[in-house]
Structure 1
Amino acid sequence: MHQNWQNTKQGDKLLKMPGKLDRGPIDFKSRVFETDGEVMGVATRDVISAPPTTRIIDAVEMMTSYGFRRLPITDAGTHRLRGIVTARDIIDLLGGGDHYNLVRVKHHGNLIAAINESVRSIMTQRVRTIPDSASVAEVTETIVTQKIGGLPIVNDEEVVVGIVTERDVMKALATEETDVVVEEVMSAGLRVTGPDTPIGTVTREMIAHGFRRLPIVSDDVLFGIVTASDIMKYLGNGEIFNRLSTGDVGEVMALPVRTLVSGDLYTTVPETNINDAALKMLQKKVGALPVIEDGKLIGLITEFDLVKAFSQE
């Protein structure tokens, strides 16, 4: 079913830690289910999509309302896939990368004018998809090797019939018990930022390095974590307009990133079993857990790390 509708130095800080263990190559088909069509058993079938004529602000509000990181763009009548908009595209628009030219050049910095453009101006048109006949093994291999957080599922007519994400695959694979702990598979060598870093600097860091999230550290203590979705929500829930007086995007992107940090911060420790880490992520509906030891941040474990780890077990 379809329903349309700081400073720079702080932002460039690298937290160096010991590297994670190398768990060797992955044989996806021997480790993960490989029944044809099984992807539809773990995917979301009730796909929310939007036509290419949708205004950017309407797409962002839709994504914020439903808690989506990505929104398929489809023809209104046929539901054939035409593109996709992600939280990354939105932070790119707000100052992170090439999409920012829509604001800075075409609309001379006027954010309100830019977000009233159609979503086709920022959507990714060449979308990696997965067929509805795919197995979970094939989806897992695509996610791990291509480092893609979510894939639209299409039928033979290129009609979107579902969407599958890292979280869906992690949930399916985490049912198998393992002795692996967080320390073995966590991401190390983290790039972090400070609470007073401007939001605009954070968006540029994320786009430049391909990050979806940045830990915020103050005096070696974890202050919080900011994600691409948090920055997108800043626009989607209207908060950005409450702080906008001139209409210029630079005004709101100069605010410190601590403005976006919520009071909820969920963490884990190095010796936690990855089954327990996956369960906590699913219960708290978060995509990553900072790893804390002796009161300090030593790593980050993400849905991607867990999908990769479970596929190796």
Structure 2
Amino acid sequence: MGIKSFMGRRSEEKVDKRESIRVRDYMKRKLITFTVDQNINEVMETILKQRITGGPVVDDQKNLIGIISDTDLMQVIGDSRYHNMPVGDKTVADYMSHQVSTIDAEADIFDAAARFLKTGHRRFPVIEDGKLIGQISRMDVIIAASNLKKNHWR
């Protein structure tokens, strides 16, 4: 009598049917941006009026060249007190950060969350072909996760 092999019923592979949620799906496209020659007092006023914590610095062609944040503005305040000088003639170029961490528009929203945790940043500009096309914030990731929870999490 020959040997018969019986494997039994195979279970189907479990496939996650959720679509990947991308940064592109939740990033803000209409941004408040700043220029290097913009007066720092004007930037402070804009940040306060718009209730934002900073924004990208771009050139005339919308190339990302830096970022200015409320942390940078703390330096402005510190400098004005320490040197006892008004900051009226200071510009974004004097205080902006030139090293900017960006994120790809096609990045998964969970990857974005991990990067926020790892870096402590509040926002990541999104560039495509060197041009600023949007920005994703921590709040945008929370909104994406909340929407996902409504649709997929149990």
Q: Residue 141 of structure 2 corresponds to which residue in structure 1? A: 306
Q: Residue 65 of structure 2 corresponds to which residue in structure 1? A: 223
- From 240, 252, 265, the equivalent of 2:100 is 265
Q: 1:193–1:215: 8 Å Cα contact kept in structure 2? A: yes
RMSD of Structure 2 on Structure 1 (CA) = 1.9
Q: 2:75–2:95: 8 Å Cα contact kept in structure 1? A: no
Shift of 1:232: 2.1
Q: 2:69–2:96: 8 Å Cα contact kept in structure 1? A: no
Distance 1:242 1:259 in 2: 16
Q: 1:240–1:252: 8 Å Cα contact kept in structure 2? A: yes
List per-residue Cα deviations over 1:207-265 (Å, max 9, x = no partner).
22222212111132111111123212433xx33345434xxxxx214300121122421
Larger radius of gyration: 2
Shift of 1:189: 1.0
Q: Which amino acid in 2 is paired with 1:257?
A: V
List per-residue Cα deviations over 1:112-165 (Å, max 9, x = no partner).
xxxxxxxxxxxxxxxxxxxxxxxxxxxxxxxxxxxxxxxxxxxxxxxxxxxxxx
Does 1:199 find its partner at 2:40? yes
Q: What is the aligned-residue identity percentage?
A: 30
Q: 1:243–1:252: 8 Å Cα contact kept in structure 2? A: no
Q: 1:178–1:274: 8 Å Cα contact kept in structure 2? A: no
Shift of 1:312: 0.7
Shift of 1:180: 0.3
Shift of 1:293: 0.4
Shift of 1:304: 0.7
Q: 1:198–1:255: 8 Å Cα contact kept in structure 2? A: yes
TM normalised by structure 2 equals 0.76
The secondary structure found in structure 1 opposite 2:87 is helix
List per-residue Cα deviations over 1:166-211 (Å, max 9, x = no partner).
xxxxxxxxxxx97100000001111211011011000111122222
Q: Residue 210 of structure 1 corresponds to which residue in structure 2? A: 51
Distance 2:45 2:147 in 1: 33
Q: Which amino acid in 1 is paired with 2:146?
A: S
Distance 1:222 1:254 in 2: 23
TM normalised by structure 1 equals 0.39
Change in 2 beyond 3 A, CA 1:243/1:308 = same
Distance 1:287 1:201 in 2: 22
Q: 1:244–1:252: 8 Å Cα contact kept in structure 2? A: no
Q: Which amino acid in 1 is paired with 2:51?
A: G
List per-residue Cα deviations over 1:77-130 (Å, max 9, x = no partner).
xxxxxxxxxxxxxxxxxxxxxxxxxxxxxxxxxxxxxxxxxxxxxxxxxxxxxx
The secondary structure found in structure 1 opposite 2:32 is strand
Q: Which amino acid in 1 is paired with 2:37?
A: D
Q: 2:125–2:134: 8 Å Cα contact kept in structure 1? A: yes
- From 114, 128, 133, the equivalent of 1:279 is 114
Distance 2:101 2:73 in 1: 19
Change in 2 beyond 3 A, CA 1:303/1:253 = farther
Aligned length: 130
Q: 2:122–2:138: 8 Å Cα contact kept in structure 1? A: yes
Change in 2 beyond 3 A, CA 1:188/1:265 = same
Q: 1:290–1:300: 8 Å Cα contact kept in structure 2? A: yes
- From 230, 254, 279, the equivalent of 2:89 is 254
